[in-house]
A and B are shown apart, each in its own frame.
Chain A
Amino acid sequence: DAMVIQNPRYQVTQFGKPVTLSCSQTLNHNVMYWYQQKSSQAPKLLFHYYDKDFNNEADTPDNFQSRRPNTSFCFLDIRSPGLGDAAMYLCATSRAGEVTGELFFGEGSRLTVL
């Protein structure tokens, strides 16, 4: 059974039209992450939530926002998508303090910008 669920799996939007991607988890993990992965590149961390505390990476554009209304859900909002924002967006979760520190990834949401 999927433990980290991302929706939608595929999203097509127009240049400048806002997009929201969602992530839900059944693991009761307290840390949730959003990664951006462009074609043929490594995943790049955009931001993460440690419980309710939001942690933004220094180089994450202002165009990207996130919300975590409760433990189970996290959203990625792209306010005005540009062609350069086309990518796979990966949500991941972990439990802080766990020995392995392992991240559990969702299936990803692939964003196309026309």
Chain B
Amino acid sequence: ELKVEQNPLFLSMQEGKNYTIYCNYSTTSDRLYWYRQDPGKSLESLFVLLSNGAVKQEGRLMASLDTKARLSTLHITAAVHDLSATYFCAVIQIQGAQKLVFGQGTRLTINP
């Protein structure tokens, strides 16, 4: 069964700094997603990564996918307070019943 692990689970950082969130998954998959969730809200889709070497950027966030290493990263550049949220990666399980499996989430707090 597919397992998805994120690290770190908690991240507190200062505005202006850079940091990376890592997402590892245990079995072959060809699709990986990053979501943002604000407290009490639903999931907001950030990135859809479909192939090895895929890189996508939106503002201060950049996501990449290495399917051979079964690793995705979400890089935050020059963090600002508005990016404080919980970030989830999720992977499509393609063996057996196709379903979306989430990582544990990374709670990001950006301090002024």
Q: What residues make up the interface of A, taking CB atoms closer than 8 Å to B? A: 33, 40-45, 48, 55, 88, 90, 92, 99-108, 110
Contact = CB atoms under 8 A, between A and B. Distances in A.
A90 B99 contact: no
Contact of A100 (B31, B88, B103, B105): B31
Given A40-B105, A41-B105, A42-B88, 19 more contacts: A40-B107, A42-B103, A42-B105, A45-B100, A45-B101, A55-B97, A90-B42, A90-B43, A92-B100, A101-B92, A102-B45, A103-B33, A103-B100, A104-B45, A105-B43, A105-B45, A107-B41, A108-B42, A110-B40
Closest 6 CB pairs of A and B: A42-B102, A108-B42, A105-B43, A107-B42, A101-B31, A100-B48
A106 B103 CA distance: 19
A32 B43 CA distance: 16
Contacts of B107: 40
Interface of B: 31, 33, 40-43, 45, 48, 50, 88, 92, 97-105, 107
Nearest to A90: B42
Contacts of B41: 107-108
Contact of B50 (A43, A55, A100): A100
A87 B88 CA distance: 18
A42 B104 contact: yes
Contacts of B33: 102-103
14 contacts: A41-B105, A42-B104, A55-B97, A88-B40, A88-B42, A90-B42, A101-B98, A105-B42, A105-B45, A106-B42, A107-B41, A107-B42, A108-B41, A110-B40
B43 A48 contact: no
Contacts of A92: 100
Contacts of A105: 42-43, 45
